[in-house]
Amino acid sequence: MKYLSDKQTADRYEVSRATWWRWVREGHAPKPVKLSPGCTRWKLVDLESWESAQEAQA
């Protein structure tokens, strides 16, 4: 399973890390997985599913 960091995820969607975290906090983006203290990541499959859902709404 592939995981992405907040920086990689923000780069993927061409937004700042602060914007990405705001989207997560507001429920507009997938919830992260806490792998260990200080290590939060997003599953690539969750991000791809979220992208598909966003495209379907457009």
Residue 37 maps to which CATH number?
Answer: 1.10.1660
Domain that holds residue 19: 3-57
Q: What percent of the chain has a predicted confidence (pLDDT) above 90?
A: 91
Complete edge-to-edge strand list for the sheet that includes strand 3-4: 3-4, 39-43, 33-36
Q: pLDDT by residue (tens digit) across 37-53?
A: 999 999 999 999 999 99
Tell me the longest C-alpha to C-alpha distance in the chain: 37
Q: Which residue type sits at 1?
A: M
Instruction: State the Cα–Cα distance between residues 10 and 26, nearest whole angstrom.
Output: 16
Q: Where are the beta strands (DSSP E) in 13-56?
A: 33-36, 39-43
Q: DSSP 3-state assignment of 4?
A: strand
The domain tally of the chain equals 1
